[in-house]
């Protein structure tokens, strides 16, 4: 499979002639090298699909993930399987069955009679155990057919409103759904919220936290590295000894302390969400900051910097317009490689109940539920977000690996 894909990728590439290789820009070279990494390409496709599905989550999810869309009739329900055929014959259009809750009959009269036997019978019948609450009877005679572009709850497809301009594009169509009731591809949780839809919505929340954190991290690192590398001397010594000190302290306990402090302040979920992202990003400047400083220290003595200085450019202009563009590719690669680590930090905080909390949909919140013994034993389908999480992180790591190799200008074979 991989060999096949690799061949495909190689064939699609135009004939490389000597001339174009030497005149190609940095980005074109990276792109050309990246195309040769089969695992990277496969991972990039998976990653792209996941991010796209996350970004347009309302469109791709058949059910509203908030409490408004919770299916009261189908709490703790198992995944509803989609079939193409059954005993009654083959159907080109996939369908699911309708599910009914079996309400276990509790013989109140016998209980009121005061017989201990009746109580014993009730307990041993399992009507009170939590696993029996997951029992639904499948009505195989009633098919519910899958439909494309069904009408459902209204959502904002993409919000482009800037300033006074109202460009909030709203839509109420969803990629797929069933004609009667709701379809729960991955089952539901205790409140009847659809797991599949929640997971899709969670992807973008988690990725956007990571993006905010990485942007903050980038700004902090650029500031520390740029200032320290450009000015050198005493400024450099002081800033670098502080970074060195920050680097040796394990970050998760520090995030924890900050999260505890944040929990004292009364914040809305959205503010809390950004505060956590900013904390994670702002404390993580040490590694990248040091690298940038080393790079600037070597670059600042180059002739083009001297030329800019003689032309009268200001310090900030030289840093931003001349020095930083010289290692954009490095910054991009480093940012991508750091994605999984930032996502993991958010997850760990959520796991301890100090990051985002219910009812926000984030992968950390959904993963946290996996530690509940009830879910582990009776609702194994709630591990679906774990699967998505693992695939997402793996895709990030593999794309990062391939990009790192591709961005290295010396990796080309001679």
Residues that bind another protein (CB under 8 A): 2-3, 6-7, 38-39, 241-242, 244-254, 256-258, 260-261, 264, 340, 344, 347-348, 351-352, 354, 367, 370-371, 376, 386, 389-391, 393-394, 397-398, 401, 404-405, 408, 410-411, 413-414
Q: How far is CA 60 from the centre of its chain?
A: 15
Distance of alpha carbon 307 from alpha carbon 303, whole angstroms: 6
Return the number of the residue (119 or 238) whose C-beta is nearest another protein: 238
Closest distance between another protein and the C-beta of residue 78, in Å? 19
Return the number of the residue (174 or 369) whose C-beta is nearest another protein: 369
E strand intervals along 131-211: 136-159, 168-178
Q: Is the dihedral of CA 262, 268, 274, 277 positive or negative?
A: positive
Distance of alpha carbon 236 from alpha carbon 361, whole angstroms: 43
Distance of alpha carbon 403 from alpha carbon 336, whole angstroms: 9
Closest distance between another protein and the C-beta of residue 304, in Å? 26
Q: Say how many C-beta atoms besides its own lie within 10 A of residue 167's C-beta.
A: 9
Closest distance between another protein and the C-beta of residue 47, in Å? 13
Distance of alpha carbon 282 from alpha carbon 266, whole angstroms: 21
Beta bridge partners of 208: none
Closest distance between another protein and the C-beta of residue 317, in Å? 32
CA-based angle 275:276:282, to the nearest 5?
Answer: 85
Return the number of the residue (178 or 349) whose C-beta is nearest another protein: 349
**H or E stretch at 223:** helix 195-231
Return the number of the residue (156 or 377) whose C-beta is nearest another protein: 377
Closest distance between another protein and the C-beta of residue 411, in Å? 6
Return the number of the residue (14 or 250) whose C-beta is nearest another protein: 250
Return the number of the residue (260 or 306) whose C-beta is nearest another protein: 260
Closest C-alpha to 275, from 254, 289, 261? 261
Return the number of the residue (201 or 290) whose C-beta is nearest another protein: 290
Distance of alpha carbon 352 from alpha carbon 385, whole angstroms: 18
Closest distance between another protein and the C-beta of residue 380, in Å? 10
Closest distance between another protein and the C-beta of residue 8, in Å? 12
E strand intervals along 78-135: 83-86, 89-101
């Amino acid at each position: 499979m991989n060999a096949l894909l690799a061949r495909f990728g190689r064939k699609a590439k135009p004939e490389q002639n000597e001339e174009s290789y030497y005149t190609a820009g940095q980005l074109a070279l990276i792109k050309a090298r990246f195309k040769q990494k089969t695992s990277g390409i496969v991972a990039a496709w998976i990653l792209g699909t996941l991010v796209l599905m996350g970004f347009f989550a309302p469109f791709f999810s058949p059910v509203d993930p908030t409490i408004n869309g919770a299916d009261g009739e189908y709490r703790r329900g198992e995944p509803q399987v989609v079939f193409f055929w059954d005993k009654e014959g083959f159907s080109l259009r996939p369908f699911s069955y309708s599910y009914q809750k079996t309400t276990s009959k509790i013989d109140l009269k016998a209980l009121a009679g005061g017989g201990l036997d009746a109580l014993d019978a009730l307990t041993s019948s399992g009507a009170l155990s939590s696993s029996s609450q997951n029992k639904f009877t499948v009505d195989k005679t009633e098919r519910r057919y899958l439909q494309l572009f069904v009408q459902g709850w209204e959502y904002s497809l993409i919000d482009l409103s800037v300033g006074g301009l109202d460009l909030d594009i709203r839509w109420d169509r969803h990629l797929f759904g069933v004609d009667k009731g709701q379809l729960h591809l991955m089952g539901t949780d205790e409140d009847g919220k659809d797991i599949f839809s929640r997971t899709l919505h969670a992807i973008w929340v988690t990725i956007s936290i990571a993006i905010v954190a990485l942007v903050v991290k980038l700004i902090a690192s650029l500031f520390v590295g740029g200032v320290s590398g450009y000015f050198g001397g005493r400024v450099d010594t002081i800033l670098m000894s502080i970074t060195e000190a920050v680097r040796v302290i394990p970050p998760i306990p520090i995030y924890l302390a900050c999260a505890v402090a944040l929990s004292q302040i009364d914040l809305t979920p959205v503010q809390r969400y950004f505060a956590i992202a900013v904390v994670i990003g702002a404390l993580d400047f040490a590694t990248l900051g040091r690298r940038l400083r080393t790079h600037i220290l070597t670059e600042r003595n180059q002739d083009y910097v001297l030329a800019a200085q003689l032309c009268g450019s200001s310090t900030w202009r030289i840093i931003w317009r001349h020095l930083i563009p010289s290692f954009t590719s490095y910054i991009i690669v480093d940012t991508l490689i750091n994605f999984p680590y930032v996502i993991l930090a958010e997850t760990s905080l959520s796991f301890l109940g100090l990051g985002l909390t219910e009812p926000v949909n984030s992968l950390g919140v959904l993963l946290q539920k996996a530690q509940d013994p009830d879910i582990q034993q009776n609702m194994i389908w709630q591990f679906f977000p774990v699967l998505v999480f693992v695939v997402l992180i793996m895709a990030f790591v593999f794309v990062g690996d391939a990009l790192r190799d591709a961005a290295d200008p010396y990796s080309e074979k001679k």
